[in-house]
Amino acid sequence: MSSPSDPWGVPAPAPNDPWTAPQPAAPVTGAPEAGPVIVQIAEISVTSTTVHTPAGDIPLAGSQWQVNDYWISQQRIPRWAIAAAIVGFCVLTVFSLLFLLIKESVMQGTVQVTVTNGTRQYVARIPARDQSVVTTINQQVNYVRMLAAL
């Protein structure tokens, strides 16, 4: 707020100006209550009637669910080998560098959950460190499939 004599002040907003004073939203009538979240799969929330995704809502009834897991194996130097090479560099300079030749395989995976209903589709990609994550997601999706068939 500023005084009328202040040329640099910001004028006070008009009481009914839609650009400065947000209007409260009118309550939606006739829309069914979705209820509490039954299952949460990454960013997908499932209620008794609706699948809530960041891209919009999808009806649960008749929805199709698909789960795919993708794994890659990477070779890397273990942390203990790096630490041994640094500590050993002070004692045996050349031989300590042999620790850097040690490699370990690390599995990294992604679980892709796809929900489809008619023309609406959403894909969630969930990072997985081990098989237990994949098993848990498969169990959750199987439960949602059962709910969608009801």
Task: Look at residue 5 and tell me whether its pLDDT is greater than 60.
Answer: no
Distance of CA 41 to the CA centre of its chain: 9
Average pLDDT of the chain? 80
pLDDT at 97 exceeding the cut of 80: yes
Q: How confident is the model at residue 35 (pLDDT cuts 50, 70, 90)?
A: confident
The answer to whether residues 45 and 54 touch, using CB atoms and an 8 Å cutoff, is no
Instruction: Tell whether the model's pLDDT for residue 118 goes beyond 90.
Output: no
Element counts in the chain: helices (H) and strands (E): 3, 7
Look at the chain and count its residues.
150
Q: What is the mean pLDDT of residues 120-129?
A: 91
Residues facing 39 on adjacent strands: 46
Ramachandran class of 142: left when φ > 0, alpha when ψ lies in -120 to 50, beta otherwise? alpha
pLDDT score of 22 more than 60? no
Comparing C-alpha atoms, which of 62, 54, 55, 34 is closest to residue 46? 34
Q: Is the pLDDT of residue 15 over 80?
A: no
CA-closest candidate to residue 135, choices 116, 109, 114: 109
Q: Mean pLDDT across the stretch 83-98?
A: 83
Question: In terms of pLDDT, which residue wins out, 150 or 36?
Answer: 36
Maximum Cα–Cα distance across the chain: 81
Read out DSSP for 60-104? STT-EEEEEEEEEEEEE--HHHHHHHHHHHTT-HHHHGGGGG--E
- Identify which of 132, 122, 126, 133 has the alpha carbon closest to the alpha carbon of residue 112: 126
Q: What does the alpha-carbon distance between residue 133 and residue 122 come to, in Å, rounded to a whole number?
A: 20
